[in-house]
Amino acid sequence: MVALDTSLLVRLLTNDDATQALQVREWLQAHSSARQPAYIDHLVLAELSWVLARSHGYAREQVHLALSSVLRVDAFVIEQSGQVRQALQWYAAGPGDFADYLLAARAHSAGYAPVLTLDRKAARSPTHQLLA
């Protein structure tokens, strides 16, 4: 089993480099399946959300859809997928970035909540608390 880097998922989702996107698709078809899935780390998902929003101009709903679609691929194993699903629910309903909510889901699972922050946008969510 291999782990995937953010750049592969960016190419796969955006097709911003058709040659590389084809290379990724062909590799996944040949080497990854539900029986032999590729691993996707939380860090990769946080980076992916940032790249889609900042570099590719994806709207919040598009980022949510893209991340949700990655979760549904049988050929991928997502690190703590339950935490990712929780983060996506909070992200859909709140003002923060996906990474803010992924951090909150991880902290909550470890018994630590809320997340103390200086980020005023994230602090508008019940998952975070503004350091005042």
pLDDT tens profile 53-88:
999 999 999 999 999 999 999 999 999 999 999 999
Tell me, what's the pLDDT at 92?
A: 97
- Show me where the domains of the chain are located: 6-130
Tell me, what's the pLDDT at 110?
A: 97
Token code pair at residue 29: 């078809």
Tell me, what's the pLDDT at 15?
A: 97
Cα separation, 12 vs 60, whole angstroms: 19
**Is residue 39 a contact partner of residue 77, using CB atoms and an 8 Å limit?**
yes
Q: Tell me the whole-structure pTM to 2 decimals.
A: 0.94
**Is residue 13 a contact partner of residue 52, using CB atoms and an 8 Å limit?**
yes
**Is residue 38 a contact partner of residue 4, using CB atoms and an 8 Å limit?**
yes
User: Is the per-residue pLDDT at 1 higher than 90?
Assistant: no
